[in-house]
Structure 1
């Protein structure tokens, strides 16, 4: 660590965020590497170090011969102030070297409200924000993650986007970069070649035009770039890389535990869920491999907690076999095993009692909607009786806390659906009264609502987000009808959800707004300490961009979307058909029951997913 850094760390919160040197962090001899990669997460250390994808890519790249991948997180407001005062450039945690001297800088984009942090980190690194102003071959700025499925709001700032799972495509990019550097290619030559790698989108190779009404008119690929870039997936997921020897943070993080990734994808097909479509098809890891990985990871790290990671844990077919195999080691070693992402229609008390011997945590279910009609419209495939039966089972087993997650503003939602949330919460409370063996303990039923954000590559990508005023009216309607001291109600902030909708469906004109807001001081917009809604409204006004055009407008069936240049493998025709079924409140069976013909099964070996 340099002396200037040692001088400023005593003046900032949580200095361990910025020191590196953690157990299992990878240190390499600079003389033994010829490619250096800065793996950047545009949020705090505590958030980024809890991201399993970051850990996987870190391990994959550091196993490559001659490659040194280092971690970079957004410095908190106090640390940034000190860095700018002392002239310290953004640096890699492992070496302390400025990332402006690295070969590639890659950003993980998991949340739209982190976009200003991407710009801020580039600026802290001493680099021009825009791709066209960074003329040399190095550093190349890469971005991937769920938000990359609509790359356009960040298109002017990023050299290339990675669509889909990054384990293999990241290696392809590094190999091509090596070739470009050794053969003295220009940056333009490298990007033209990178566009030929499956799963890579190079925004500078596409010309965008707009119609008189402001909608997208055309996206024309140049220099033989593909008209549509399709995501990459890992075919043999069971044997793909898993970070058994994972970094153990020197300070507390959000998810301070071993995370086992059971499978990728989801069989369900909820019509609002971008991840459910984007990660298709389902690919599961063998339970014997998971047992070995979980035990080895706990032994190496010393963690006393292990959790399952997936979009729907209880849909993992050999879940009981996996839990039994892990518990055989976990119980005598006092390691707790937790099962998040459970569905109320396949909740097993026996399984939960076995895995929560060490610590009995609260239960969480996500009905998403308060009435059966609306649950059918969003294809939740969950009945009220299934929800109540699972709650009764849990209460009779001694649980006294349950969390219920819902969304407000879903397509076709009425006031009756909103009030149905309060009605369902009351029925859960009555189920507790009828079944609890110890009523004196009391019960806590927490109802949380988020504001529906229509996302690209979903059945609701044509839908508007309801207005902010209407959302607040529905929150008040629900709050006024939420009765009982045992029922608590939390709701999500409306201003950030509105901006999330704008960025999720924005085009390159929104990039001007993001830069303008950043130059006015916007950063850490996912945090109350950094967020300023008025600043954003001023930026939209200064750029002549109407945010309601992106957030609150119904799209025509054939309107061209900014994200049409990317593909998750699910056909637009299928998504439109699902939208029509939503308005008819008609459900589509899950993939395990019946193939719905979404189009993603061309990724599967033999044309059949692992559902």
Structure 2
């Protein structure tokens, strides 16, 4: 069934020299709720010589693409067609993936499978008489760990794209004849644009990087002195060309499947100043950068003119840390916009903030206490109390908000049974004190299992996932479900521990694990696939998780002293490899207060 959209720009093939497929490796409505997709689409198409079209994962995908028994694809290989012109994916010069969830690694492999080309970059490099699209990728998962997908892709963009996009596209446009044989030319060291590409920060060329990590003696050794590559953030957010002409899907029967509904997405800041110990945004995407109030007002005015939506959604990891947040909201409502903020930080949500959001017709709010225990919450870096949470709930319901969604984490380092029990205890207290003003199903809980992300202080805490039984997490899920069922007027969901283990494994893979990732894909791309892959691969995963936890224990046993931390040995294999190729300031950023 064709997708109906409002505000789609007309295309012209005149002067087009480069065709880019922008791929969000998940379903359409998830992708169209992503600010990143709108931003990249706008940036690519702002170049007169480039035509960018969007691709999303088809519905009803099964893994792998081909049935093991019949060798017949579950879906037509050409089902990957662009939204704009229904052009097959294989017809594009460049395929650009935007990857934000580890489980989407399998979708990337499914899409590569649909092209019918060799999965691995090094295999494609050995084929000289066939054209291949250039495969590039970026996104939050890539920023955190660029190695997991590196063996499958040609280039990795591991930071903000804006600092390099103009130079990057200029290089591609000047070398369009070389792109279809990119890796074979690298193999023979005959790629004319290589020197220019290697000058760019935030960019890894997979073929060269993997050879460097493997210490292979090749003609590419002369480029080894470029490592580690510079990591650069985009400091001046006002200079980011925010998309004001955004495509908005149309819906029938009021069934809006977008995360924020029909809305104009507006990024007001980037990065986060709080550095919660489990969150990669506060460590790999710092410092906080705010758009100026003048620029934001101008973007709101332009959004009204160019995007057919009556609501503005403010995008940012820490929107309430914008010093002019209330003024921004007041300006948007004065222009007739309703308001949406995906999540509120509890210690930043003042009465004034709640009032202006209600004025903007927000009906529900989302907060992330992470745990019901004050002590554990402070330990993970969130400095607010249960009293503040209850007060916020009281004010929100009194002002007319109809629901509050809570995000909790279980399986955190140093967590004890009493910390688990503190979650239902907090919800009981809220209900007991506020039950008379809480609307029906006004309390909604999403309880997720902590997924350790490398390059965060808790990023190597893999203890809960070592072994097959996942005993602690299964008991914790059962205990919480039993307790929460006793509380009236709440809805809750609890993450499956098996899925959490799969995500953890994917987030810790390095470039030597390509065959493991392929095996997981061909064995169904599910949590149970961890038990289906061959015993040697299972042992490799177990060792990987054990080594991570060993490093975690080693780090927390060190005195918190700068001189000791600066000489700290990085034992984790994935982290160590990443630091060889990227100049992440790990010790400066992650241990210094």
Q: Give yes or no for TM over 0.5.
A: yes
1:450-491 Cα distance to aligned partner (Å, 9 max, x none): 100110211112322414221111122223333321243321
1:194 matches 2:177:
no
- Output the CA distance in 2 between the equivalents of 1:87 and 1:380: 47
Q: Which residue of 2 aligns with 1:479?
A: 481
1:127 to 1:218, Cα distance in 2 relative to 1, 3 A: closer
- Output the CA distance in 2 between the equivalents of 1:405 and 1:42: 25
1:178 matches 2:176:
no
1:283 matches 2:295:
no
Instruction: Give the CA deviation at 1:31.
Output: 4.2
Taking the TM superposition and a 5 Å limit, the aligned residue runs for 1:102-501 are 102-135=92-125, 138-149=132-143, 150-181=145-176, 187-188=185-186, 189=191, 190=193, 193-207=196-210, 222-225=221-224, 226-251=226-251, 252-255=256-259, 256-330=262-336, 335-357=337-359, 359-433=361-435, 438=437, 444-467=442-465, 468-482=470-484, 483-501=486-504
Instruction: Give the CA deviation at 1:345.
Output: 1.3
- Output the CA distance in 2 between the equivalents of 1:72 and 1:310: 24
1:346-367 Cα distance to aligned partner (Å, 9 max, x none): 2223332333246341222211
Q: Which residue of 2 aligns with 1:577?
A: 591
- Unaligned 5+ segments in structure 2 are 67-71, 556-568
Secondary structure of the corresponding residue to residue 32 of structure 1? coil
- Output the CA distance in 1 between the equivalents of 2:105 and 2:441: 40
1:114-167 Cα distance to aligned partner (Å, 9 max, x none): 111111112223332221233467521101111113122212110110011123
Is the Cα–Cα contact under 8 Å of residues 38 and 99 in structure 1 kept in the other structure? yes
Secondary structure of the corresponding residue to residue 348 of structure 2? coil
Secondary structure of the corresponding residue to residue 555 of structure 1? helix
1:218 to 1:545, Cα distance in 2 relative to 1, 3 A: farther
Q: Which residue of 2 aligns with 1:48?
A: 31
Secondary structure of the corresponding residue to residue 388 of structure 1? helix
1:539 matches 2:533:
yes
Is the Cα–Cα contact under 8 Å of residues 531 and 538 in structure 2 kept in the other structure? no
Secondary structure of the corresponding residue to residue 420 of structure 1? helix
- Between 1:226-235 and 1:145-154, the stretch displaced more is 226-235
- Between 1:238-247 and 1:164-173, the stretch displaced more is 164-173
Secondary structure of the corresponding residue to residue 242 of structure 1? coil
Aligned counterpart for 1:38 among listed residues 21, 42, 47: 21
- Output the CA distance in 1 between the equivalents of 2:194 and 2:271: 30
- Unaligned 5+ segments in structure 1 are 1-14, 210-215, 523-531, 579-595, 597-611
- Output the CA distance in 2 between the equivalents of 1:23 and 1:153: 37
Is the Cα–Cα contact under 8 Å of residues 363 and 400 in structure 2 kept in the other structure? no
1:412-443 Cα distance to aligned partner (Å, 9 max, x none): 1111111111221122223314xx6x57x556
- Output the CA distance in 2 between the equivalents of 1:382 and 1:218: 48
Secondary structure of the corresponding residue to residue 141 of structure 1? strand
- Output the CA distance in 2 between the equivalents of 1:443 and 1:478: 18
Aligned residue pairs: how many? 539
1:243-301 Cα distance to aligned partner (Å, 9 max, x none): 11111224554233111111001111101001221211111111232223224323433
1:386-413 Cα distance to aligned partner (Å, 9 max, x none): 2222122223323453222110011111
1:192 to 1:134, Cα distance in 2 relative to 1, 3 A: farther
Aligned counterpart for 2:516 among listed residues 493, 496, 513: 513
Is the Cα–Cα contact under 8 Å of residues 160 and 191 in structure 1 kept in the other structure? no
Secondary structure of the corresponding residue to residue 421 of structure 1? helix
- Output the CA distance in 2 between the equivalents of 1:508 and 1:361: 45
- Output the CA distance in 2 between the equivalents of 1:278 and 1:520: 33
Q: Which residue of 2 aligns with 1:562?
A: 574
- Output the CA distance in 2 between the equivalents of 1:217 and 1:466: 31
- Output the CA distance in 2 between the equivalents of 1:229 and 1:24: 39
Q: Which residue of 1 aligns with 2:88?
A: 98
- Output the CA distance in 1 between the equivalents of 2:276 and 2:172: 39
Aligned counterpart for 2:78 among listed residues 80, 88, 110: 88
- Output the CA distance in 1 between the equivalents of 2:397 and 2:403: 8
Is the Cα–Cα contact under 8 Å of residues 513 and 540 in structure 1 kept in the other structure? no
CA RMSD of aligned residues (A): 3.0
Is the Cα–Cα contact under 8 Å of residues 509 and 545 in structure 1 kept in the other structure? no
- Output the CA distance in 1 between the equivalents of 2:289 and 2:358: 27
